[in-house]
Chain A
Amino acid sequence: MIPAKFEYIKASSVSEALGLLDKHGDEAQLLSGGHSLIPTMKLRLNQPKVVVDIGKIPGLNSISEDGSNVVIGANCTHHQIATSSVVQGGVNVLAQTAKEIGDIQVRNKGTIGGSLAHADPAADYPAVILASGAKIEVEGSGGKRTIDATDFFLGIFETALESNEMITAVHVPKSSGGVYLKFSQPASRFAVVGCAAIKNDSGVSVGLTGVAGCAYRASAVESAYNGDAKAAAAHAVDGVEVMGDNFASSKYRAHLAKVFTERALNALG
């Protein structure tokens, strides 16, 4: 469990980090909590030449309110999010989701920026980020932009982030009474299926993770929902290529997606 040799640079500002990304191109990778990056490096599945540590950049780990949004810095840890009164008050479902991630060590180190950028198909946050209609604030040497959650996740470990960009914050619209329910993979405790459901003016919004190559907004469920959770949940995997693995075949996973969607909708009340 010894990584290949790499150069470690600690960035003290966003612009310094972005400058290093520009300079080293594909050879550089960002490090925040390290809980996804370092395991792959130890197994030598991933051998960056330069590791740019953004974990201590000032200002990236704050949580604040901005009108109807809760703004969460990219470096906020899962623990911070789970226990923040701002998050609990504004989007409690996100705090509840953060609590479901990994174990204490993982929650103390892992960050929301790292989790979203890593885009593990079984990660927990994406379901809630999608259901809540969050926007991801990113910055590159060319400037800032925001990406809608629905446009962010593209595939297995694949996002709309350019290789010279980094996530700086997540803007999550406030909501109340949202639900995240997860069927844990017994070994890793990542989501075999995770369903986030949030009430909105027009009905519900539903995000599903673990089911496909990347998390998605279950719009077929949303449009079918008229109070009958079971009937709406039947559309949970409409148009989706459902993954299968050693822990859940695609048939079983599709079934679980429906079960958890139904349960989440019912739990919304």
Chain B
Amino acid sequence: MSNYIGQSIKRREDDRFITGKGKYTDDIVLPKMTHLAFVRSPYAHAKINSIDTKAALSHPGVVAVYTGEDCGNFGVPCGWQVNFKNGDTMKEPPHPLLAVGKAKHVGENVVAVIAETLQAARDAAELVEVDYEELPAVTNPNAAVQPGAPQVHDDIPNNVVFDFALGNPKEEVDAAIDGASHVTKLNFKNQRLAPNAIEPRSYIADYDVTVDKYTLYTSTQNPHLIRLLMCAFVLGLPEHKVRVISHDVGGGFGSKIYHYSEEALVTWASKQIGRPIKWTSDRSEAFLTDAHGRDYVTTAEMGFDNNGKIVAFRVHSEANLGAYLSTFSTACPTYLHATLAQGCYTTPLINIDVTATFTNTNPVDAYRGAGRPEMTYMIEHLMDTAALEMQIDPVELRKTNFIPAFDGVSQPGYQTQVALQYDSGNYHATLDRALEMVGYDQFRKDQEESRKNGKLLGIGFSTYIEACGIAPSAVVGSLGARAGLYESAHVRVQPTGSVSVFTGSHSHGQGHETSYAQFVADTLGIPMENVDIIHGDTNEVAFGMGTYGSRSLAVGGSAIMKSLDKILEKGAKIAAHKLEAAVEDLEYAEGKWTVKGTDKSIAFGDVSLTAYVPHDYPEGLEPGLDFSSFYDPTNFTYPFGTHIAIVEIDKDTGKVTLKRFIACDDVGNVINPMIVEGQIHGGVAQGVGQALLEGVDYDENGQMITGSFMDYAMPRADDFPFFETDRKVTPCPHNPLGVKGAGEAGAIGSTPAVANAVMDAISHLGGVKDIQMPITSERVWEAMNS
């Protein structure tokens, strides 16, 4: 029976969010709290000759001033080790809490000033005198590996973090490309993006000397991982002495997964001064220091036979990881990227080759999609480009190459050339539905008509696949992950039958308090009001790996399902005892156990009460109704879908207007369609943002020239038409809810659809070269007029 699953129930958490009552870290004010301001490097690359903090220290209200000398031994680690092709360990230079010796990117923390008020901290920060000696900087990942490029870390030659390859032997792939009847080749930059969560990062550390314990309030996507990394790898603290709390968090998009140096610094400093310390990033700092996304320089080639069948796919990229290795930076251009190179196609030969580089820029890490949008962009942009070049309809080209449908149950999963095995898929289904929604045949007629009138209309496709809920732990461990990727859940049934669910996944906008309660209530057959979802506190939740990579429901939800199974199994024993029946003779539905074929039953609440007041109770059974579980998935999940963009281009100015956007996604089973649709809408907005508007730019000295909302173009509501969305459902065969994940699909699928639509609109003008993202008006105008 299912009352809630599949219903668009309004999000419970939204009441507090939209009435301004959410409790974000910066809303918290502790007694005797101090404030911290950073002095940040104004240079991309500079030797620090000396730091004079005297004037700052004597400024009224200043409590303490720290430099790298004071805490330079501590450094934040990288969470994923990727080895060189020859087996050597990747280069992992220390990442100090405050710069030591050299500053390596604009915005790097150099000095921390702590004062009674934020005003005093900011004023005193201006009094710190740092004697810098500016050094030449490098910002482009391709330039970084050239001989003679500036060295970001003195002891790391050519700025190479590692080189990496995945897929079939290179000689075989090269030979197939050489022998192909058509090869489409693209050289491009997948530009750097700023995540721009609406809530800037914020940390409060509170050291309590009376019990020698720390509390860290932090705007993070995964409190337990922060505690683990900070305690075990940075400060050397015992975990039971550290509580990490991250209740309401205002968006992350990846940027709040990582353990940042500022987090460890406030924690360490709180003990030094014996008082709480708050640091909240301002927007300028967020642009400079929240881990960025993307930033690859790529050459990608796809070879086809004369029937339009793909014979080989070959890629070389330089991936920019910035000045230091952020927590999951190394996984992004490798195991989260190259593993998706199969796309939805039967490509027989694939080789993905990536060199990861250091540059004098802010660290780069996972940003909504993490490696997968970059791969999807190249595959899907190659497909439409190849279709234009070969004069084949892009829809036909896809259908020629699609992997046939497989459900992963009666038909096996699909083994790719790049390590993964897809769980289930039906790529034709979403494409056919999306074509129907867009009215493809009619569109092509309209397009021809409109061209006669001098209008430039274009359509672009993207039939993407993605990989969510990265797992299992043993596999990711063998690939270098320094953490497991399971999830934990604790379900506590109170004596009167209400239920508290403690999840290790983390909601920072996803709506878990609602969607989790829906399936828990349905599984137990109780009202949703009786279910509470608790996350974001290491003292309440036993353990967790947090939320990213669209993993919450597929991994975290499955862990909850395991605990619910245990609850129902034990409950059945109690029910059988009370009903004087055998467990096998009971069935559970609508919140009660019934003896099959009779009207004898006992309600969930009566069983839970019995569990806690065990007077008349099965012999040998423990009291209580309370279970924890850990769930380690057997595979990733593989959502997919079709996105179609229609654009119109202003001939005179090159301005691109998105006229329609159609998305038919298959994210497996759906608990709350409204929430899924919201995730798709938000993802599409970000993906279109990358295609048309966004981009972090550094100048040749490594100064960021897009460090504010006046210079970094975020997509706004009026940049979009109403999205037209629909869904197909191919359940995930390997998790109990049959869900796949919907958090990143929109951002992964949409970008190439828009880029392809632009090219479709103007390529008939002749001589039009591929346009780099963001596809600004000027770039389109240049492309049309060169």
Q: How large is the interface on B (under 10, 10 to 19, 20 to 34, 35 or more residues)?
A: 20 to 34
A5 — nearest CB in chain B belongs to which residue?
Answer: B123
B693 adjacent to A1 (CB under 8 Å): no
| SS of A interface (majority) | loop
Which A residues from 216 to 269 make CB contacts under 8 A with B?
Answer: 246-249, 252, 255-256, 259
Asked if A186 is an interface residue, CB under 8 A from chain B, the answer is: yes
A4 — nearest CB in chain B belongs to which residue?
Answer: B123
B711 adjacent to A246 (CB under 8 Å): yes
A256 adjacent to B653 (CB under 8 Å): yes
Which B residues from 266 to 288 make CB contacts under 8 A with A?
Answer: 282-284
Contact residue among B126, B655, B697 (Cβ-Cβ distance under 8 Å from A246): B697
B123 adjacent to A187 (CB under 8 Å): no
A259 adjacent to B653 (CB under 8 Å): yes
A187 adjacent to B709 (CB under 8 Å): yes
- Supposing A5-B123, A187-B714 touch, asked if A252 and B283 sit within 8 A by C-beta, the answer is no
- The winner among B697, B709, B710 for most chain A CB atoms within 10 A is B710
B710 adjacent to A1 (CB under 8 Å): no
**Alpha-carbon distance A86/B284, docked complex (angstroms):** 41
B284 adjacent to A1 (CB under 8 Å): yes
Contact residue among B119, B284, B653, B693 (Cβ-Cβ distance under 8 Å from A5): B119
Q: Within 8 Å CB of A188, what residues of B?
A: 709-711
Residue-by-residue, is B100-128 near A (CB-CB < 8 Å gives 1, otherwise 0)?
Answer: 00000000000000000011001100100
Asked if B778 is an interface residue, CB under 8 A from chain A, the answer is: yes
Asked if A43 is an interface residue, CB under 8 A from chain B, the answer is: yes
**Alpha-carbon distance A183/B282, docked complex (angstroms):** 30
Q: Within 8 Å CB of B118, what residues of A?
A: 2
**Alpha-carbon distance A77/B683, docked complex (angstroms):** 37
Asked if B510 is an interface residue, CB under 8 A from chain A, the answer is: no
Residue-by-residue, is B244-259 near A (CB-CB < 8 Å gives 1, otherwise 0)?
Answer: 0000000000000000
Residue-by-residue, is A179-203 near B (CB-CB < 8 Å gives 1, otherwise 0)?
Answer: 0000101111010000000000000
- Supposing A252-B778, A256-B653 touch, asked if A2 and B119 sit within 8 A by C-beta, the answer is yes
B710 adjacent to A43 (CB under 8 Å): no
**Alpha-carbon distance A5/B127, docked complex (angstroms):** 14
Interface size on A, residues (CB 8 A): 20
Asked if B601 is an interface residue, CB under 8 A from chain A, the answer is: no
Q: Within 8 Å CB of B122, what residues of A?
A: 2
Residue-by-residue, is B428-458 near A (CB-CB < 8 Å gives 1, otherwise 0)?
Answer: 0000000000000000000000000000000
- Supposing A2-B122, A255-B781 touch, asked if A187 and B653 sit within 8 A by C-beta, the answer is no
Asked if A44 is an interface residue, CB under 8 A from chain B, the answer is: yes
**Alpha-carbon distance A163/B284, docked complex (angstroms):** 31
- Supposing A2-B118, A249-B778, A259-B652 touch, asked if A187 and B713 sit within 8 A by C-beta, the answer is yes
**Alpha-carbon distance A126/B710, docked complex (angstroms):** 20
**Alpha-carbon distance A19/B786, docked complex (angstroms):** 59
B718 — nearest CB in chain A belongs to which residue?
Answer: A189
Asked if B712 is an interface residue, CB under 8 A from chain A, the answer is: yes
Q: Within 8 Å CB of A44, what residues of B?
A: 126
**Alpha-carbon distance A2/B713, docked complex (angstroms):** 24
Q: Within 8 Å CB of A255, what residues of B?
A: 781
Chain A nearest CB from B284 CB (Å) reads 7
Chain B nearest CB from A81 CB (Å) reads 22
Asked if B542 is an interface residue, CB under 8 A from chain A, the answer is: no
Chain A nearest CB from B114 CB (Å) reads 15
A1 adjacent to B283 (CB under 8 Å): yes
Chain A nearest CB from B717 CB (Å) reads 11
Which A residues from 15 to 47 make CB contacts under 8 A with B?
Answer: 43-44
**Alpha-carbon distance A188/B706, docked complex (angstroms):** 11
**Alpha-carbon distance A185/B693, docked complex (angstroms):** 10
Asked if B705 is an interface residue, CB under 8 A from chain A, the answer is: yes
Asked if B776 is an interface residue, CB under 8 A from chain A, the answer is: yes
**Alpha-carbon distance A56/B746, docked complex (angstroms):** 48
Chain A nearest CB from B684 CB (Å) reads 18
Q: Within 8 Å CB of A246, what residues of B?
A: 697, 705-706, 711
Chain B nearest CB from A121 CB (Å) reads 13
Q: Can you report 15 A-B residue pairs in the complex whose CB atoms are below 8 A from each other?
A: A1-B284, A2-B119, A185-B713, A186-B693, A187-B693, A187-B712, A188-B710, A246-B697, A246-B706, A246-B711, A252-B778, A252-B781, A252-B782, A256-B653, A259-B653
Chain A to chain B: the 7 pairs with minimum beta-carbon distance, closest first? A187-B713, A186-B713, A188-B710, A1-B282, A252-B778, A259-B652, A2-B122
Residues of chain B whose beta carbon lies under 8 Å from any beta carbon of chain A: 118-119, 122-123, 126, 282-284, 652-653, 655, 693, 697, 705-706, 709-714, 776-778, 781-782
If A2-B118, A246-B711 are given as contacts, then 4 extra A-B residue pairs at C-beta distance below 8 Å, sorted by A number, are A2-B119, A4-B123, A188-B709, A190-B710
Residues of chain A whose beta carbon lies under 8 Å from any beta carbon of chain B: 1-2, 4-5, 43-44, 183, 185-188, 190, 246-249, 252, 255-256, 259
